[in-house]
Amino acid sequence: MNPVSLSILRKVPSITKIVEEAEKFSEENKLVPLLTFYLEDELLNNLVKTLDNKFSNTFKEYGYDKTVFIKKLYNN
């Protein structure tokens, strides 16, 4: 998996070395390096697939916008 949140951070030249160190640490410890789950569509989609039908239906209805989807879950 290539985390979107980390690739966004990698574009900042002043912290490239830190990002590389984080990636190395993550790989050595069998972790997925990411900054925020919110930016990771693949992880969010996989999570939704494991939830019960109530949340799956909410995702089908509001999945076009992650913010709206999360607000709907929070309000239920």
- Model pLDDT for residues 46-60, shown as the tens digit of each residue: 777 777 666 778 878
Q: How confident is the model at residue 64 (pLDDT cuts 50, 70, 90)?
A: confident
Is residue 39 a contact partner of residue 9, using CB atoms and an 8 Å limit?
Answer: no
CA triple 63-68-69, angle to 5 deg: 45
- Model pLDDT for residues 15-48, shown as the tens digit of each residue: 889 888 988 998 899 987 877 777 777 777 777 7
Residue-range domain boundaries for the chain? 1-38, 40-76
Q: Per the confidence metrics, is the pTM higher than 0.75?
A: no
